[in-house]
Structure formats: C-alpha cells, structure tokens
A and B are shown apart, each in its own frame.
Chain A
C-alpha cells in the first residue's frame, strides 16, 4: 500500500503513533497490573510493590470452592463449545448453501443473541428456566451459554465456507457422491480449521461469561461467578491470581484457534500475501 506517499508530516505521524501506544497502554494496563499484583505480597495492592510472593496462588489453590468452580467452568465450557460449534456449523452451512423464505429471520436468530445485554438474557433465562424446572443447575448455564456462543461459531465457520470454491460441492455430486458423502469428504475437511477455531473461541467465551451464569447457576457457580463473589465480599488479590490463571487458559485457546484459522487456510490466505 502506498499510504507513505500521502502524508509526509513527521511530527503528525509520530504523535499519531504515540497515541496508538497510549491507547494500547490504557487497554492493557489493567491486564498487566492484574498479573503483576498476583505475584505481590500486599493485601491492599499499590506501588511501591511489596515483595514477590505466591501466597495468593496458594490461597486460591487451597480453596476447595475455587476448585469446584474451576471444575464447573471447564465441564460447562467444553460442552458449550461442542454444542455451539455443531449448531453454528449447521447454521453456517445452511446460510452458505440454501436460499429460502424467511432466511433473514433465520440469520437474525442465528446472529443476534450476543447483542442482547447479558443482564437481560440472565433475567429472561432465570425466569424461563425456573419455570420449566431447569434453573440452578450446570445444564442451565450450558443452555444459556450455547445461545450466546453459537453465533460466534456460525460467524467463524461461515467465513471459512465463503472461501470455498462454490463449484466444489456440485463437482462432487456430479462425480456421483451423495450429499452426505460430499459433506463428509469435501465440506468438513475444508472447514476443519474453522471448526476447531470455533470450538476454542466458544469455549473461551463461555469461560469468561459471568453475568448470565450468575443469574442461572444457583449453587453450581462457575469460576467467573466466584470472582464476582470475591468482588462483592472480601476483595483480595486472590482475584488477580484467578484472573491470571484464567487468562492463561483463555489465551491458550485463542492462540490455538488463531494458529488453526490462519496457519493452514490454504491458497486463499497465501494469495493475499
């Protein structure tokens, strides 16, 4: 791109670059601080720093409620990831392949849920699920999380399908493959990176969701709900320790997704280089 030729004023360029750095500093300050203070001894964190300490990690590790929360989060996250990805794949394929009356409504249902404020979703879910005796259990959180996670899976997989040569599927049919065989041998292999990408991203979204989970989980609290509890009660740097730990898990998932989505996308990505 030849944008260099357009603007030449160095002072403006450098102050804009400095502004980028400032913006990123604002966004990453709380993330970095949480990591630093998770390893710091002070009960009421500030600067100058106290000494290096693992006590908050130890406090967290010896709290059975935290382990229970982590267990719930992991189980729920994996199940949510799998269901959301399956539903999202189906919806993405439907959008890719079919035109039908009411498709706009279908797509709205498939994509809109994340734009509804979580607090309203939480209330609606709590009221509805307790009506059908499904509230206060792990399955309540799973049901609610799939609603907001499936759209992400659908968007990711749809993006991959849009890179597929539209002639590929009809070519397989012409060669005698059934629709099911084409799905299995052409479509699924082609979208595989996106399928796993969607799986990891939806798991990560579920790991961090606290508001809806807070409303519907009852006693089966997930880890983020536990953190909310810490914030409400005995605020302590344990939050930082949990936050850092969850951050590492989430980032591992996101980076795995990123590698899958960009690493082996084949000719389409390479063409752009």
Chain B
C-alpha cells in the first residue's frame, strides 16, 4: 500500500532525519570546509587554502603516525580474529543452548563498563610492580617492564575489541547449516579440515565484518596508545587530540580526521568486497 506523504508518516520519520542531518552530516561536512581554513594570530578564519593539507602531508611525523596506526589496527584485527575464533567456535558448537545464552549475556557486559576504568585496571596488572610481575617473581622471572610498550597497547586494543569480535563471529557461526558439517564428517573430513574448509568459508562474511569492526575501533582509539602504550609511537588519534587540545590548529586536526575517514572507508570497502567475493563463486572476474 503506497500512500502520499502524510503528516502522520512525517511525524515519525522526520525528527531523526533532521537531527542526523543537523548534527551528524553537517559537522562532518563542516570538517571538510574547516580543513581549508587558515589560522593567523591564533584565530581561525574561513578561507579556501590547501595549506593545511600541504603542511600535514609534508610532515614526516604525520606519515610515521599513519603507518603506525594502520599497522597497529591491522595487527589488532588479525590478533583479535585469531584469538576470538576458537572461543566463538567453542561457544557455538560445544555449549548447550542455555550455556550459550549465558555466554552471550556475559560478553555483552563489557560494553557497559567504562573502557577507561578497564585500561586503568590493566595498568595495575602490567606496571613494574604490578600483578603480572609479582606472579612472575614467584617463579623467579622478571620483572619485565611491560607498560608503555606496543604490547601493552595491544592488550588495551584486545580489551576494547575482543567482546565485539567474539559476539559478531558467534552470530555468523550460529547460522551455519549444521548438516554441512555433518556431511563433511560423514565423508571422513578431518576435524581441522572441516573447520578450515567448511566452517570458516560458511561464516566468512561475519568473520570479515568482525575483523573490520575491530579495525575501526582500534584505528580511532586514543586511550590504549596513550595510557598503556605511553604515547610512543604516536598514532593518528593521539595526533588529533594533541593538535585539537593544544591551541587553535583545528584545521590541521580536520586534515588528520578526514584522512582517517578516507582510510576507514577504503578499508571498509575492500573488506566488504573481500567478504562477499567468495559468495558468488565464479562471478568474480
């Protein structure tokens, strides 16, 4: 039933549209404009000058941060996918229905705890006199300095992303047709081979989307690199906060932010293409 636009319909559909246009699309569009503004005597003025783009792209520190951020986020996505898979696999295939429901409920809890508090908590574990070093000391090992290393950043990234990756993987695994697995077993396909040739290809879309979300989350996170990684090496997110908070260089921060959005869009596009490429076999090329 198709109807003309009615007052009734607009009452429900318009408010969100207006809000997101005003406060989501406009700010992002304004960011584009802002990146062409100039700063003179500590005040910003509207302009159309590519100077910020030229300055930022000409800075070695920017490209170093860019490389670091991409490398960290990519490793985090790979690591989170590998670490999460056995867990989501086991929850899907080795737990009873009610145990699975509990497992899912428990995995949702971290989303409603403060990420900052969890990062501070990791400082307690990883500091020089922290819990991990004390335990290692009982075995005559250490102490190792673990805080302010890329490894600590990675621990923070896993804290941030692992619950989401596990849940997303879980939801793709649950919907696998189990008769496929049984068929593979009946044809004497080995356990691991079944996982790699039946389970993973069937859940491919979900697994790639999970990795993509991990990339998005860690790519923009500034808390772990600062408070666990010690701020060194610098990531793009640290560069944004420093550039924004330390004065009127917002146009330059806008350049960094837009570069990040561009990168994320490209990564998301490639990931989605890769995820669905296997689905239409032969259709590719």
Provide the residues of chain A in CB contact with B6, threshold 8 Å.
179
B110 near A27: Cβ-Cβ < 8 Å: yes
How many residues on the B side are at the interface (Cβ–Cβ under 8 A)?
92
B237 near A113: Cβ-Cβ < 8 Å: no
Q: What is the bound-complex CA distance between A124 and B226, given in angstroms?
A: 21
Report the stretch among B22-30, B54-62, B276-284 that lies at the interface: B22-30
Given contacts A26-B162, A123-B257, A127-B27, are A45 and B124 in contact (CB under 8 A)? yes
A6 near B93: Cβ-Cβ < 8 Å: yes
A interface secondary structure, majority: helix
Which residue on A lies nearest to B244, using beta carbons?
A123
**Closest 7 A/B residue pairs (Cβ):** A117-B220, A243-B117, A30-B121, A128-B27, A16-B90, A94-B13, A90-B12
A90 near B15: Cβ-Cβ < 8 Å: yes
Q: What is the bound-complex CA distance between A31 and B159, given in angstroms?
A: 10
B86 near A117: Cβ-Cβ < 8 Å: no
- A-side residues, CB < 8 A to B, are 1-3, 5-7, 9, 12-13, 16-17, 19-20, 23-24, 26-31, 33-34, 37, 44-48, 86-91, 93-94, 97-99, 106, 109-110, 113, 115-121, 123-129, 131, 143-144, 146-147, 150, 154, 170, 179-180, 183, 204, 208, 210-211, 215, 224, 227-228, 231, 235, 239-240, 242-243, 246-247, 250-251, 253-254, 258
Q: What is the bound-complex CA distance between A204 and B24, given in angstroms?
A: 21
What are 30 A-to-B residue pairs whose CB atoms are below 8 Å?
A6-B178, A6-B181, A16-B90, A20-B87, A20-B94, A20-B95, A20-B103, A23-B166, A24-B107, A28-B106, A31-B110, A31-B113, A47-B134, A87-B16, A88-B16, A93-B12, A109-B17, A109-B20, A109-B25, A120-B261, A123-B250, A123-B257, A125-B23, A127-B250, A147-B20, A179-B8, A227-B117, A235-B123, A250-B112, A254-B108
17 new A-B pairs (CB below 8 Å) besides A34-B121, A93-B12, A94-B12? A7-B94, A19-B86, A47-B131, A117-B260, A117-B264, A123-B240, A124-B28, A147-B19, A150-B19, A170-B1, A180-B8, A208-B113, A227-B116, A227-B120, A228-B116, A240-B117, A251-B112
Given contacts A20-B91, A126-B244, A231-B227, are A115 and B182 in contact (CB under 8 A)? no
A239 near B244: Cβ-Cβ < 8 Å: no
B157 on interface, CB distance cutoff 8 Å: no
B47 on interface, CB distance cutoff 8 Å: no
Q: How far is the CB of B43 from chain A (nearest CB, A)?
A: 13
Given contacts A3-B178, A147-B20, are A210 and B116 in contact (CB under 8 A)? yes
Given contacts A117-B237, A127-B31, A254-B112, are A46 and B16 in contact (CB under 8 A)? no
Provide the residues of chain B in CB contact with A129, threshold 8 Å.
27
8 Å CB contacts to A: which residues of B192-222? 213, 216-217, 219-222
B2 near A7: Cβ-Cβ < 8 Å: no
Provide the residues of chain B in CB contact with A204, threshold 8 Å.
112
Provide the residues of chain B in CB contact with A144, threshold 8 Å.
23
Provide the residues of chain A in CB contact with B217, threshold 8 Å.
117
Provide the residues of chain A in CB contact with B115, threshold 8 Å.
208, 210
Provide the residues of chain A in CB contact with B83, threshold 8 Å.
23
B163 on interface, CB distance cutoff 8 Å: yes
